[in-house]
Amino acid sequence: MSVTEMFSHIQGFLSADQEVREDIRKVVQGLEQTAREILTVLQSVHQPTGFKDIPNKCLKARELFSTVQIHIGELRTKFPVEQYYRFHEHWRFVLQRLAFLASFVVYLETESLVTREEVAKILGTEVNREKGFHLDVEDYLAGVLIMASELSRLAVNSVTAGDYGRPLRISNFINELDSGFRLLNLKNDPLRKRYDGLKYDVKKIEEVVYDLSIRGLAKEPEAGGDK
Amino acid sequence: MSKREGNASARKRRPDSDQKTEDFVSQSAVISAFRVFQQELDTRHDKYERLVKLSRDITIESKRTIFLLHRVTSVPNVEEVLNEADNKLDGVRQKIGQIAEELRGEDIYQFHKAFTSGVQEYVEAVSFHHFIRHRTLLSLEEINAALVFIKDETVVIKAPGEIQGACVLTFQVTSTDYLLGVADLTGELMRMCISSVGNGDMETPFELSNFLRDIHDGFAYLGNVGPYEVSKKLHTLRQSLGKVEDACYMLRVRGSEIPKHMLADVFSSRTAVMEQDEEVA
């Protein structure tokens, strides 16, 4: 095979590859759009008015997740299933965000940590790599970490809205997460960097809890004087 | 393996002991979930490390082969050197076989970063070897065809009746790795060109310059379609080509006029200028 033939052969490979990437990018754009919509819905829980109907917001978000499932179903068809990691970078970011959104919804509903299986179900992905388009464990963990910083914000805002019980519950939850993450032997990778931020979230929430308890607000569920 | 598990369980026990009893139930759910993650991540990282190690071994062995191959310009018996290099490359292929073993049932691309540099170096060595022997470019298919491994039968024999065909492992060099390896090859060809001039060989430089020009044209044809790393290499490739073309020019213009040791001087000063360019760029 001559040099020229070899290169035009490879050129064929490369342009086929690029087409696949182009297709993936289009679907991922759709996913990003939906993820933003879900985020907008959930962001309103930080507002005093939003506190009153958290269940409603969650319901709305759940509805939007069905769009996510459709998009992911579409994404599956764009590339051979055994080449998941070849194109992983294209959807890694958005999948982490979606994992965050799913775990946030589940937290708001049940105040517990979402399992990986549950996230996979909400997003319409598989749990195991063998079965097809799956949620990588690192992406799931990254999503959980994003949720942790969202919760530290929520703790602050729930005090503003007069809900003094919530920060305590969030504090317990985050501490649990922290000890969970401490079990992991992380390498010096993006996940580890994100995990390094968790301690600030823990600190923030502990400050909120401290503020509440020195004012004697922590144990009283009814909103105190500033309402 | 068992040592790692021992460590892991020692680590696991610690948080249990200092946790408060009242939230034991809820905490244990989270903690046990994270234990699963811990194991999964550890397994993955271990595999990655093993692959990195294999890749480093492959890189070193391939580099040595290339050094060995550079001797062909100065020894009388080329065939002997080539056979020795062949043996070395067989050793490298064994290592690649181990990579294939590690990757069995895995997504190749998940661990691709761990061994890509080794594979590129192997492509460089094996195609350099092929060029010296046949004066042509080794194709991607030929490389991949050499990377089919039959697994040790000792394991298989326990289950009688199992056919040997069932345990064939293959390793596929991706087109990107191939391209990057070929781009590195051009650097070796440039060195070979300069050293063959030093040895008074007046044929090889012209052959090399034609071959390099073909490769350069090939890369230019790919242009921006290729991945980012490929276009980065294009710059170095152009420099190598420049050096080889200059060498041929010198040989043509005043090849027979000046004594050989001065010829070498001409090239080395030229190379120095080139290196300065590189630093600026």
Count of C-beta atoms within a 10 Å radius of residue A12: 11
Q: Inform me whether the C-beta atom of residue B38 falls under 8 Å from chain A C-beta atoms.
A: yes
Contacts B23 to A, Cβ<8 Å:
172, 176
For chain A, what percent of residues have pLDDT higher than 90? Answer: 65
Q: What is the pLDDT of residues A30-82, one digit of tens each?
A: 999 999 999 999 988 888 877 778 888 999 999 999 999 999 999 999 998 88
User: B133 and B178, same structural domain?
Assistant: no
Contacts (Cβ under 8 Å, ≥6 apart) of A54:
A45, A108
For residue B155, is it within any domain?
A: no
> What's the CATH code of the domain at B56?
1.20.58.190
pLDDT at B229: 83
Q: Inform me whether the C-beta atom of residue B225 falls under 8 Å from chain A C-beta atoms.
A: yes
For residue B154, is it within any domain?
A: no
Is the complex ipTM more than 0.90?
Answer: no
Of A3, A15, A138, the CB nearest to B137: A3
Q: Inform me whether the C-beta atom of residue B78 falls under 8 Å from chain A C-beta atoms.
A: no
The answer, yes or no, to whether residue A125 has pLDDT greater than 70, is yes
Residue B273: which domain range? 174-281
Rounded Cα distance between B138 and B126, Å, is 8
Mean pLDDT of chain A: 89
For residue B255, is it within any domain?
A: yes
pLDDT at B227: 80
For residues A18 and B25, the model is more confident at: A18
Q: Is A197 helix (H, G, I), strand (E, B) or coil?
A: coil
Q: Please count the structural domains in chain B.
A: 2
For residue B111, is it within any domain?
A: yes
pLDDT at A2: 84
Q: Inform me whether the C-beta atom of residue B15 falls under 8 Å from chain A C-beta atoms.
A: yes
pLDDT at B66: 95
For residue B279, is it within any domain?
A: yes
Cα A5 to chain centroid, rounded: 47
Residue B121 annotated as lining a ligand binding site = no
Residue in chain B nearest A7 by alpha carbon: B218
Q: Inform me whether the C-beta atom of residue B217 falls under 8 Å from chain A C-beta atoms.
A: yes
For residue B54, is it within any domain?
A: yes
pLDDT at B104: 84
Rounded Cα distance between B200 and B71, Å, is 14
Rounded Cα distance between B161 and B247, Å, is 62
User: B132 and B189, same structural domain?
Assistant: no
pLDDT at B194: 86
Per the CB < 8 A criterion, the answer to whether A152 and A174 are in contact is yes
Contacts (Cβ under 8 Å, ≥6 apart) of A103:
A113, A114, A119, A143, A144, A147
Considering only CA atoms, which of B119, B116, B103, B118 is closest in space to residue B44? B103
pLDDT at B157: 41
| CATH code 1.20.58.190 region(s) in chain A | 1-135
| Superfamily for domain range A1-135 | Translin; domain 1 (1.20.58.190)
Cα B196 to chain centroid, rounded: 25
pTM: 0.81
Q: Do A83 and B107 touch (CB under 8 A)?
A: yes
Per the CB < 8 A criterion, the answer to whether B168 and B148 are in contact is yes
Per the CB < 8 A criterion, the answer to whether A7 and B218 are in contact is yes
Chain A, 70 to 89: residues with Cβ < 8 Å from chain B are: 82-86, 88
Q: What's the length of chain B?
A: 281
Q: Do A6 and B137 touch (CB under 8 A)?
A: yes
pLDDT at B7: 46
Rounded Cα distance between A61 and A104, Å, is 10
CA A163, A167, A172, A177 dihedral sign is positive
Q: Which CATH class is domain A136-227?
A: mainly alpha
* Positions in chain B short of pLDDT 70: 1-27, 151-166, 254-281
Q: Do B37 and A6 touch (CB under 8 A)?
A: no
> What's the CATH code of the domain at B258?
1.20.58.200
Of B15, B215, B226, the CB nearest to A14: B226
For residue B32, is it within any domain?
A: yes
Distance from CA of A51 to the nearest CA of B (A): 25
Residue A150 annotated as lining a ligand binding site = yes
Instruction: Give chain B's largest Cα–Cα span.
Output: 95
pLDDT at B155: 44
User: B181 and B127, same structural domain?
Assistant: no
For residue B139, is it within any domain?
A: yes
Which of residues B147, B166, B185 is at a domain's end?
Answer: B147
User: B27 and B91, same structural domain?
Assistant: yes
Q: What is the pLDDT of residues A152-200, one digit of tens each?
A: 999 999 998 888 889 999 999 999 999 999 999 988 888 999 999 999 9
